[in-house]
Amino acid sequence: MTLYLLKRLAVLVASTAVAGVVVFAFMALLPGDPAEIALGVNATPEAVAALREQFGTDRPPVVQFLDWFGGLAQGDFGTSYVTSAPIGPQISDRLGVTAVLVLGGMAVAVAIAVPLGTFAAVHHRNPLGAAISAVSQIGIAIPAFLAGILLVFVFAVKAQALPSGGYVPIADSPGEWLRSLLLPWLSLGLVQGAVLTRYVRSAVLDVMREDYLRTARAKGRGSTGALWRHGLRNASIPVVTVLGLQLATLLIGAVVVERVFVIPGLGDLLLNGVAGRDLLLVQGVVMVLVAAVLLINFVVDVAYHLLDPRLR
């Protein structure tokens, strides 16, 4: 197991380095000079050259990349081209908000998918089980931002039970913090829960057809007891893989949901950086998102290895 972890860590580090090269190259190919954007169209060539030297963009691309990626390894994301503020603190302040949003959305998705998917599998010949499958299929077709708009219309505009947007830090008011995140959590979790329900149903159905489960029932365990004791862990193996992919999807979906609900997370920071042409800020946020996806994949690989003893 230790050797496997070391191999996966080596793959994680190598993948992060390759991702850094791709992100840097993509941002470098975008049109526009950060110095010219910062100074405006009326800037003199001398002023532009001086600012390029200050930003370090007059150096060879390889030197710029090594300086930037080496800074990332030390937690230094550089300084914003537009505001001259350090980028690292801006990202760290927003990262916690996005993490809470994504994890809360995933908790909602799991809370919906596991019981409903299991019920739909056990009662797959029952009209109620078929209805759950049909509703989950409809949920897959609804994007998260549309679900957010519909939830705002129902719970904020019509019922006036929850705020339509905004974010309250938990230190200021835990109750208002929870109220400000309920709709964003639901908008992410309902859509991903519909997707996950289909996978849970399929995994449980496959397990229910296995010989060892029929043997457990023949030895006197009821269908529910046999499934709970022998089936769910085996059914969770493919679901964990999908769960990792769903977490990555939630992370990307949070970019849009944060904009819909005016939540100051990484997505909001990214879109503000794009609007302000702050390329170094955008580069840093994209790299954090890519690294988060790679880390999620690493955790899923390790969890898969722990759940399936055949791999050990």
Greater confidence (210 vs 186) lies with: 186
Which residues touch 72 (CB under 8 Å, ≥6 apart)? 20, 284, 287
Q: Give yes or no: residues 180 and 302 share one domain.
A: yes
Model pLDDT, residue 108:
92
Q: Give yes or no: residues 53 and 193 share one domain.
A: no
Question: Given a cut of 80, is residue 208 above it in pLDDT?
Answer: no
Q: Which of 247, 298, 288, 248 is nearest to 266 (CA)?
A: 288
Q: Give yes or no: residues 168 and 214 share one domain.
A: yes
86 forms beta bridges with: 79
Greater confidence (310 vs 88) lies with: 88
Model pLDDT, residue 214:
72
Domain boundary among 68, 87, 106: 87
Question: Given a cut of 80, is residue 2 above it in pLDDT?
Answer: no
Distance of CA 189 to the CA centre of its chain: 12
Model pLDDT, residue 209:
72
pTM for the whole thing?
A: 0.83
Q: Which of 64, 53, 52 is nearest to 24 (CA)?
A: 64
Burial class (CB in 10 A: 0-12, 13-18, 19+), 112: buried
Q: Give yes or no: residues 108 and 56 share one domain.
A: no
Q: Give yes or no: residues 148 and 254 share one domain.
A: yes
Question: Given a cut of 70, is residue 240 above it in pLDDT?
Answer: yes
Domain that holds residue 198: 88-311
Core vs surface per residue 270-296: b (16+ CB within 10 A) or e: bbbbeeebbbbbbbbbbbbbbbbbbeb
CATH number, domain with residue 257: 1.10.3720.10
Domain boundary among 87, 114, 143: 87
Q: Give yes or no: residues 127 and 225 share one domain.
A: yes
Question: Given a cut of 70, is residue 89 above it in pLDDT?
Answer: yes
Q: Give yes or no: residues 59 and 147 share one domain.
A: no
Tally of domains in the chain: 2
Q: Give yes or no: residues 139 and 270 share one domain.
A: yes
Q: What is the mean pLDDT of the chain?
A: 83
Q: What average pLDDT score do residues 230-237 get?
A: 70
Q: Give yes or no: residues 236 and 104 share one domain.
A: yes
Q: What is the pLDDT of residues 40-75, one digit of tens each?
A: 777 788 888 887 888 887 888 888 888 888 888 888
Model pLDDT, residue 111:
92
Q: Give yes or no: residues 26 and 63 share one domain.
A: yes
Q: What is the pLDDT of residues 176-185, one digit of tens each?
A: 999 989 999 9
Model pLDDT, residue 127:
85
Q: What is the pLDDT of residues 121-172, one digit of tens each?
A: 888 788 888 888 888 888 878 888 788 888 888 888 888 888 888 888 888 8
pLDDT band at 100 (very low <50, low <70, confident <90, very high): very high
Q: Give yes or no: residues 69 and 177 share one domain.
A: no
Q: Give yes or no: residues 187 and 246 share one domain.
A: yes
Model pLDDT, residue 301:
81
Domain boundary among 70, 87, 104: 87
Model pLDDT, residue 18:
92
